[in-house]
Amino acid sequence: AVSLETDKKYHYSHSDEVDFSVAEHFTREFARRMLAVRLPPDVDVLKVDVPRHATPQTPWRVTRVSRQPYFYPIQRPGQLALDYEIQIDMDTLESDSDVYVLRIAHQVSVAPLSVDLSSRVELHHLDALLRWAVGLHPPARDCPLGGLTHTHQVKGQSEQNSLV
C-alpha cells in the first residue's frame, strides 16, 4: 500500500493537480524488491508513505506504525459531518515511527504490516488471566502477567486476590 502525502483539499478528490509520479516510483521500487526476496514471516504488506515534496532520490527508512493517533476527528459547529485534523504530540512521538519519518524527517516511511492483528501475547497466559479476573481459577505461576490484582464478591464480602 503506497500513500502520497497531499494537502487536505485533495484527500477525497481525483484531482489532476496531484502528481503521483514519485509515489509511482516508490511503488515500482518496492514491488521490485518484494518480488526479488522472500519477506520474513509475519510481513504480509508494506505500508509506504511518501512525503509531499519527495523526489525519486528521497531516502527511505523502515519504520514501525506509530502508537500515536495521526488524524483527530473534530466537530465543527453547524456541520453534520465530522472533519479531521493532523496532530502530532512531539513528546511521545517515536523516532522510529512512520509519522516521525514522514512528517519530521521528510523521508519515505516503509512499515511492515501483518494481516494477523492478534497481539503477540501468549494466548494461554491471556486466557488464564481473563478466567482469573472473574474468579474461575488463578493463572499459573509461570504466567508473565504477574503483579496483577482483582477484586470480586464472595458471599457479600469483598475479597482481593493478588497474582505475584
Of 134 and 110, the one with more pLDDT? 110
What is residue 156's predicted lDDT score, i.e. its pLDDT? 46
Question: 58 pLDDT exceeds 80?
Answer: yes
**Helix residue spans in the chain (DSSP H):** 21-36, 98-99, 123-133
What is residue 64's predicted lDDT score, i.e. its pLDDT? 97
- Residue 60 CA to residue 106 CA, distance in Å, equals 9
pLDDT tens per residue across span 12-51: 888 899 999 999 999 999 999 999 999 999 999 999 999 9
Report the amino acid identity of residue 81. A
- Residue 2 CA to residue 109 CA, distance in Å, equals 10
Question: 94 pLDDT exceeds 70?
Answer: yes
**Percentage of the residues of the chain whose pLDDT score is greater than 70:** 82
Distance of CA 92 to the CA centre of its chain: 14
What is residue 144's predicted lDDT score, i.e. its pLDDT? 62
What is residue 22's predicted lDDT score, i.e. its pLDDT? 98
What is the rounded average pLDDT of the residues 59-83?
90
pTM of the model: 0.72
Contacts of 156 (CB under 8 A, 6+ apart): none
